[in-house]
Chain A
Amino acid sequence: MEKKEMRAAYVETLIELARENPDIVILEADLMKATGTGAFAKAFPDRAFNSGVAEANMVGVASGLSAAGKIPFAATFGSFAGRRDYDQFFLSANYARLNVKLVGTDPGVTAKYNGGTHMPFEDLVLMRAVPGLVVLEPSDPVSLAAFVRLAAERYGCVYLRMPRGAADILYPASESFEIGKAKVLRPGKDAAILALGAVMVGEALKAAEALAARGVDAAVVDVLSLKPLDLETLRTFAAGTGRIVTCENGQASGGLGGAVAESLLEEGLAVKFARIGVRDEFGEVGTQEYLQERFGLTAGRIGEAVLGLM
Chain B
Amino acid sequence: MTKEEVGELERRAMTIRALTIEAIGNLGVGHIGGAMSIVDILALLYFKRMDVDPAQPRRADRDQLVLSKGHAGPALYSTLALKGYFPREWLSTLNVGGTALPSHCDRNRTPGIDMTTGSLGQGFSAACGIALGNRLNGILSRVYCIVGDGECDEGQVWEAAMFAAHYKLDRLTAFVDHNKMQIDGRTDEVMGLGSLFDKWKAFGWFVQEVDGHDMAAMDRAIDAAEAERGRPAMIILDTVKGKGFSLGEGQVASHNMSFGIEDAKKAIAALEGR
Contact = CB atoms under 8 A, between A and B. Distances in A.
Interface of A: 25, 46-47, 49, 51-52, 54, 56-57, 59-70, 72, 87-88, 91-92, 95-97
B253 interface: no
B107 interface: yes
Contacts of B156: 56-57, 60, 88
A91 B117 CA distance: 8
13 contacts: A46-B136, A54-B163, A60-B124, A60-B129, A61-B128, A62-B129, A64-B132, A65-B130, A67-B126, A91-B119, A95-B116, A96-B107, A96-B116
Given A60-B129, A88-B125, A92-B123, 16 more contacts: A56-B155, A59-B125, A62-B129, A63-B122, A63-B129, A64-B66, A64-B127, A67-B115, A68-B132, A68-B137, A70-B136, A87-B122, A88-B119, A88-B122, A91-B118, A96-B108
B134 interface: yes
Q: Which of A52, A60, A62, A64 has the most CB of B within 10 A?
A: A64
B84 interface: no
Interface of B: 60, 66, 106-108, 114-116, 118-119, 121-134, 136-137, 139, 155-156, 159-160, 162-163, 166-167
A56 B129 contact: no
B55 to A, nearest CB: 20
Q: Is the interface of B mostly helix, strand, loop or mixed?
A: helix
A209 B136 CA distance: 52
Q: Which of B108, B129, B130 has the most CB of A within 10 A?
A: B129
A60 B160 CA distance: 9
A97 B106 CA distance: 10
Contact of B132 (A52, A61, A96): A61
B249 to A, nearest CB: 31
Contacts of A60: 121-122, 124-126, 128-129, 156, 160
